[in-house]
Structure 1
Amino acid sequence: MKKLIAISTAAVALLAGTGFDAQAAGSHKVKSGESLWNIGKTYGVSVKEMQKLNDKNNHLIFPGEALQLPEKVSKDDKELLARLVHAESKGEPYEGKVAVATVVLNRVDSEQFPDSIKDVVYETSAGGIYQFSPVGNGQIDKAADEEALKAVEEAIAFRGDGNNSLYFFNPDKTSDEWIRTRKVTKTIGNHVFAQ
């Protein structure tokens, strides 16, 4: 996930109507009043990855500064992730929806799991059972709501931060004992998040 964007972010920004313009492919010229957070959300990239790519150990940026941008998450992957979040997190607080999306992104970044959002979402266990129940029961095919889409954008911008959770479960809906042995990082709503 450390590759530079291969397409011109200027064209993407103009097509998206964001008003942002890039100096060159994979870069952004900072304007007055901008923050790494809003640049990350605009381009759909991780703030932490932007900091790393630009050798920044803090959030300070200055007007006129050219920032290199990390690889962005594709529209298709965002939509797939939002559908998973929607299916897994109906009735859960917004923070929990962001955390569910973050688990998938953490798995992509982990050596223990596949290297793409699509491959993580559709991964099966040794017994052929999908890792996420909405994939197996067809709920993944239902459209995501706006809150799930927003949660995915926030999770992408915060990518690499947090408690490194790789799992989540609802203790009232699972009898799996193995998942209960994992180190709990946080409980949000009905979901327990763990490493």
Structure 2
Amino acid sequence: MSTPLSWLARVSLCVAIALSSVVAVPANAETQPRENTKTGSSKVSSTDLQCLSEALYFEARGEGSQGQRAVAEVILNRVDHPKFPKTVCGVVNQKGQFTYRKTRIREQGAFVRAQKIATTALQGGPRNLTKGATYFHTRAVRPSWSRRFERTAHIGSHYFYRSDRRLAAN
């Protein structure tokens, strides 16, 4: 093997080993339903895990753990809300809702961290950071909807909002 190819093979093996020890997903998880947080079941759909991990990576990889957990909360709050799709992938892929364009994952360490946070969230981790938020945006923008909803939290570079409490228009 050439040196670059040998290096790539070793890195790929290390990533595969790290991922298998971080995320224990049953082989038939694709066909299993999304985990029910009320029952405390620890089964996680690999499809949900992939969609949530990618969303955390592309939307909030520059945030700390708390910021990524808050973004995961918003996505799971949407899954539970009647106004949004009923699956993690449905929420993440809903047209016009998330700004990232799925590109290649270049920072494996950041992606592994996103997977850990996604796994914990899907296994029923606490949702106490955003007070039920179903929307968020960065400080860099001010979407029109942000004036209509109640701001519930400011974590890192994101603001979080609840859509079930509209603010009075003056």
Q: When the two structures are superposed, what TM-score results if normalisation uses the length of structure 1?
A: 0.57
Residue in 1 that maps onto 2:105: 142
Equivalent position SS for 2:115 = helix
Query: Which runs of at least 4 in structure 1 moved beyond 4 Å after TM superposition?
Result: none
Inter-CA distance 157–73: structure 2 relative to 1 (3 Å threshold): closer
Classify 1:167/1:153 alpha carbon distance in 2 versus 1 (closer, same or farther; 3 Å): same
Please state if 1:191 is matched with 2:154.
Answer: no
Q: By how many angstroms is 1:45 displaced? A: 4.5
Q: 1:178 to 1:95 in 2, by over 3 A?
A: same
Cα–Cα, structure 1 residues 160 and 166, in superposed 2: closer, same or farther, change >3 Å?
farther
Tell me, yes or no, if the aligned pair for 2:53 and 2:115 is still in contact at 8 Å: yes
Q: Distance in 1 between matches of 2:143 and 2:73?
A: 22
CA contact (8 A) 2:38 2:124 kept: no
TM-aligned CA deviation for residue 160 of structure 1: 7.0
Residue matched to 2:133 = 165
**Kept after mapping to 1: 8 A contact 2:72/2:118:** yes
Give the RMSD, CA atoms, in angstroms.
Answer: 2.7
Match for residue 120 of structure 2 among 149, 154, 175: 154
Are the equivalent residues in 1 in contact too, given 2:136–2:161 (CA < 8 A)? yes
Q: CA deviation at 1:156?
A: 2.1
1:159 Cα deviation (Å)? 5.3
Q: Are 1:133 and 2:104 matched, yes or no? A: no
TM-score when normalising by structure 2: 0.64
Unmatched 5+ residue regions in structure 1?
Answer: 1-15, 18-43, 52-68, 125-129
2:76 paired with 1:76: no
**Cα 1:147/1:188, change in 2 over 3 Å:** same
Cα deviations by residue, 1:105-152 (Å, 9 ceiling, x for unpaired): 11011111011111111112xxxxx21011xx334x537611101111
Offset at 1:183? 1.0
CA distance in 1, matches of 2:160, 2:124: 17
State the alpha-carbon separation in 2 of the partners of residues 142 and 131 from structure 1. 20
1:170–1:191 Cα contact (<8 Å) kept? yes
Q: Where in structure 2 are the equivalents of 1:1-150 lying within 5 Å?
A: 45=35, 48-50=37-39, 69=41, 72-124=43-95, 130-134=96-100, 137-139=101-103, 142=105, 145-150=111-116
Unpaired stretches in structure 2, ≥5 consecutive residues: 1-19, 22-33, 163-170
